[in-house]
Structure 1
Amino acid sequence: MLLVPIVFLPIMVPAYEPHNRTIYVFVVMAVFWLAEVTPLQVTGLLPIAVMPFLGILDTDDVCKSFLTTSLAIFIGSTIVALAGEFSNLHTHLALGLLTTIGCSPRRVLFSLIITTGFLSMWMQNTIVVALMLPIVKAVLNEFEVGGLKIREENKPDQEEEDREASPIAIGYYLGVCYAAAIGGCGTLIGSATHLAGKGMYQILYPNATEHITFPRFMVYNLPWVLVALILLYPILLITNLGLFSPKSETGVALFNFGINSKDVAASVRQKFENIGTINLQEIQILILYLLMIFLLIFQSPDIMPGWADLIQKKYYITAPTAIIPFVAMLFYIPANYVCCKFCCGYGPFPNKATLPLLSWKYVESNFPWYTILVLGGGYALAKAFLETGLAPWLGNKMTFFESLPVPILQFLAIIFGVLISTLRTNVAACNVVIPLLSEVSRGAKTHPLNLILPGTMGCSIAFLLPFSTPPNAFIAANAKIGTKKMAIAGIIPTITAILLIYLTALTWHFILYPDTKEYPDWAKL
């Protein structure tokens, strides 16, 4: 850790120019993030200490990067999502869908993929995976009772709890893991990676006329996300559930198990009945969530005047203004209305304060506070790129990209995002990728969104290694999936996602953002 700043000192010394100092900080933080020599959040805090000391930005400017519009969106949407977890609303939704679709092994996989993909559009994918994992385990336990093998045989000197998951079980676990990552790409609040990309774009191009808004981002990504979720199902059927190998060990096991699948369906139905009907607390949270989504979509939908446009000028009111009131209401609205008995004059009267829809202690314990520091560190770097003149300096050095056509640059942007996020977590990867893509777009004289949007989506696709994302690590640790097995299983979903994002960048991108066909004046420095 101590050697890294020393090794890269020649970047800054003897040419002690502002852009050299910024490159030095960027390289050191990138190495720290990618190698994780310190916790990611600690690296994210470094700009507060280093940038003022090196004369890059003053302390006030750096600290403002840790509470931007994008961070306010992240904070608000995550707290609202935690309300669903706190009230057990997620369990009702998941078990309800399983009960409706059915419980044959292949049908269960489809229902898990669709359920996880849908939930992760509105909740952080790490939270969704944590919520779905107990359901997957419960379903697989029922399968095991029915005679299906969900664990590999014991190896010599191996503890029982260390047995690796069978190919069938891996299909279910990775189905949830990959569906959460894919589904999270459907909305701006589905992943912190998207907010990192949006925030850096706003900082790097404060005068941009093309904006990454909630409705446009959703329309941009939803088509390829739906196709990717649907394709994930047959991919896992082929690779893990023996779809075209009926005589294989997996195929024979699933055929024999099909006879007892009704018992599994009955077990899931019983669990759904045991949790009871949806209560008042869950209903209120669901209504608030739907209202919040409605306001986000129709804030400034571009195709028609939105409610924000009618109140103030366009883009004066942005997403946090629509989200934060609902966060406040979670702590204002009571979970039940027993208190009304006092007002009506009949008992039994309440002897303590009525609890709100969400407990702040629960938020304190479950909110991913570290992500704010990682995002803030990335935003501080983006601001330094602009303020120190590093952006035009790098742009002049990258004129060789002028000879490459935009479609090739878009493909390279996606591949670059996927590769970096495979080696390190999504948000840290995005903090490294977006500033570089910004300068490549300047060198190539192409609209920044042509590379930043595909690159950001590429940073969200990390299916190959357990340490690439928190959901990957969470699933690998709990399901006992080895690195080799995850890497092999993730190859086809990764290629599929890359191709779908690239197809979107070539076609749908220019329909939604028609002005990106020209290099804008506001991007020039």
Structure 2
Amino acid sequence: MTSCKDALRYLYFKRNILILLLTPLLLSPLLIIHYESQASRCAFVLAILAVLWTTQAVPLQVTGLIPLFMYPLFGVLTMADVCTFYMVEFHVLFVAIMVIASAIQRYGLHRRIALRALLLAGSDPKRLLLALMIVTGFLSMWIVNLAVVSMIVPIVVALVDQLSTSCTEVSEDEKESDEEKKHCGITFPLEAVIVDSSDQEEERGNVEVEGIPNQSMEILTKIEKAHEENQKNIRQDLTTCFNLGLVYSATMGGAASLVGNPMQLIMNANLEIYYNSEAKISFGNWMLFAAPIQLASLLLGWAWLSLFYLDLKMCIVNCFQKRTSKPGRCCQRNENNEEARIVRLLRKEYSDLGPMTWAENTLIVVFLFLMLVWFFEEPNFMPGWNDLFPEGYVLSSTITTGVALICFILPSKKPKIDILDEKPYTGLLEWKSAEAMIPWGLLIYVGGIYLQLKPLR
């Protein structure tokens, strides 16, 4: 039976979440009774800030972000006026996006998405390349390209290792012919002496244990060198192909959404400088314009890389000539086992991640909510949520900052009441991991560009 001492100990270790929940609740009469008064709403926000700064229920830096969300939300100040005490508005949006991306990176959610997409692609190099480019482009729409590429590069290295080994390894029981090698979708640039298979077997049959003729030794040496050169060339082609696909798709995906690259945010800010706030492009309008173009570019890039490195042309010819052992499947790998080595590698990598955690599921819900908020700010085909607030107060950067703050507050583990639990409350995100993710140098660089444009208004 739990004692009063255990209950107090439990409340002490969970004091941070209690402060976060009870403070707005206890101060709510300021809003309920005098909501029409701007001073009352301002006092509500100031009281919350005073409590959080005094108790440090969340890091001081996180508390400092609260005015960016609460002042515009309660109509105390416009978003532009609040941002003047921090940085320009698109800087605030970019920082908030980086904070949310750091939460995704902390739990490896983007790696899980990438591995899952590659598993669905199977073991064919062309399908693997397409899946890699699609998932990289999708992640780059929301996360900075450098973070996406750095996360997927280890997966690409493992893929190239397995593909190059599978496409050059010769089984002792069954030797692959040239036609069988083409099912990998790789052209083999042999730069060695070609030896007829029948002559090769005849030469090998004449080899004696005590003494091997010099000619036979030379032939065997040339075959080994040709095999090594073959494997080296295949690995180089695969490495170049997959790395180019990774970079191309990251660049295209970053241009598909308004928040995928800071340059889009600068352009949108310039429209407001030179014209007015109505000239700014909404997230939904940018997506409707740019996403189809970038998707078409991504597919063209995949086709070009496949034709140049993976011999997609032979696959198309074989499909039309019906040179496939299984109907409806073109240029598939002829797997001796039910599962190819590359598929086993991906499954192992995915299983090492373990089952989906509470934090990952929570982040998926948070991120889907944020995507809907961005898209329906001003969709044009219907009234957006921006029309519910006075003009200039609540913007997409306001809601994005609020979602970033939620990442610091939501629990990292499934909530449960256990009096004997003495572990302190931890949120989905800690400030140290968020701070490490934010490219402060890029923010300074972008601010310098924006400053040069400002006087031209």
Structure 1 and Structure 2 fold alike (TM over 0.5): yes
Is residue 66–residue 377 contact of structure 1 (8 Å, CA) maintained in 2?
no
The residue that corresponds to 1:436 in the other structure is none
SS at match of 2:377: coil
* 1:128 CA drift (Å): 1.0
Cα distance change, pair 312–288 in 1 and its aligned pair in 2 (3 A): same
Identity, % of aligned pairs?
A: 27
Q: Which 10-residue stretch deviates more, 215-224 or 315-324?
A: 315-324
Instruction: Give distance in 2, aligned partners of 1:89 and 1:235.
Output: 30
Please state whether the residue corresponding to 1:303 is helix, strand or coil.
coil
Amino acid at match of 1:95: L
State the distance in 2 between where 1:118 and 1:142 align: 25
Structure exhibiting the larger radius of gyration computed from Cα positions: 2
Distance in 2 (alpha carbons) for counterparts of 1:135 and 1:364:
26
Give CA deviations for 1:414-465 in whole Å, capped at 9, x if unaligned. xxxxxxxxxxxxxxxxxxxxxxxxxxxxxxxxxxxxxxxxxxxxxxxxxxxx
Q: Does residue 175 of structure 2 align to residue 175 of structure 1?
A: no
- Counterpart CA distance in 2 for 1:130 and 1:65 is 34
CA contact (8 A) 1:101 1:111 kept: yes
Query: Which aligned pairs between 1:492-511 and structure 2 lie closer than 5 A?
Result: none
Which of 261, 270, 288 does residue 219 from structure 1 map onto? 288
In the other structure, the counterpart of 2:206 is none
1:323 is paired with a residue of what secondary structure? helix
Judged with a 3 Å threshold, the aligned counterparts in structure 2 of structure 1 residues 167 and 331 are, in CA distance, closer, same or farther, namely same
- Decide whether aligned partners of structure 1 residues 105 and 148 sit closer, same or farther in structure 2, where only a CA change above 3 A counts: farther
Change (3 A) 1:370 1:376: same
1:306 maps to which of 384, 402, 405 = 384
Q: What's the counterpart of residue 455 of structure 2?
A: 384
Q: What's the counterpart of residue 397 of structure 2?
A: 320
TM-score between both structures, scaled by the size of structure 1: 0.53
Letter of the structure 2 residue corresponding to residue 337 of structure 1:
K
Amino acid at match of 2:374: L
CA distance in 1, matches of 2:454, 2:393: 21
Q: Any conservation in 2 of the 1:65–1:380 contact (CA below 8 Å)?
A: no
Aligned pairs for 1:111-130 within 5 A: 111-130=131-150
- Point out 4+ residue stretches in structure 1 off by more than 6 angstroms: none
> For 1:371 and 1:379, how far apart are their aligned partners in 2?
12
CA positional deviation for 1:172: 0.5
| CA positional deviation for 1:257 | 7.2
Structure with the bigger RCO (C-alpha within 8 Å, sep 6+) is 2
Name the SS for the 2:244 alignment partner: helix
Residue identity in the other structure for 2:404: V
Describe how 1:66-465 pairs up with structure 2 within 5 A. 67-148=87-168, 166-205=236-275, 207=276, 209-244=278-313, 259=335, 262-313=340-391, 316-337=393-414, 340-342=417-419, 349-386=420-457
Q: CA deviation at 1:64?
A: 5.0
CA contact (8 A) 1:339 1:354 kept: no
CA contact (8 A) 1:171 1:236 kept: yes
Residue pair 2:98, 2:437 contacting (<8 A) in 1 also: no
Are the aligned partners of 1:92 and 1:278 in contact in 2 as well (CA < 8 Å)? no
Q: Distance in 2 between matches of 1:368 and 1:378?
A: 16
Check conservation: 1:185, 1:191, Cα contact below 8 A. Answer: yes
Shift of 1:317: 2.5
Partner Cα distance (1:112, 1:357) in 2: 28
Match of 1:24 in 2: none
Cα distance change, pair 201–257 in 1 and its aligned pair in 2 (3 A) = same
Q: Contact conserved, 1:92 with 1:272, CA < 8 A, in 2? A: yes
User: CA–CA distance in 1 between the matches of 2:243 and 2:334?
Assistant: 20
Q: CA deviation at 1:210?
A: 2.4
Give, in whole Å, the separation in 2 of the partners of 1:190 and 1:282. Answer: 21
Kindly report the root-mean-square deviation, in angstroms, between the aligned alpha carbons of the 2 structures. 2.9
Report deviation, 1:192: 1.2
* Matching residue's letter, 2:447: G
- Indicate conservation of the 8 Å contact 1:76/1:327, yes or no: yes
8 Å CA contact retained: 1:129, 1:177: yes
Please give the alpha-carbon distance, in whole angstroms, between the structure 1 residues aligned to 2:332 and 2:365. Answer: 44
**What one-letter code is carried by the residue in structure 1 that aligns with 2:119?**
T
Alignment: residue pair count: 301
Q: Deviations over 1:356-415 (max 9, x none)?
A: 1112111222321111101111110111222xxxxxxxxxxxxxxxxxxxxxxxxxxxxx
Contact 1:66–1:376 (CA<8 Å) still a contact in 2? Answer: no
Distance 1:257 1:213 in 2: 45
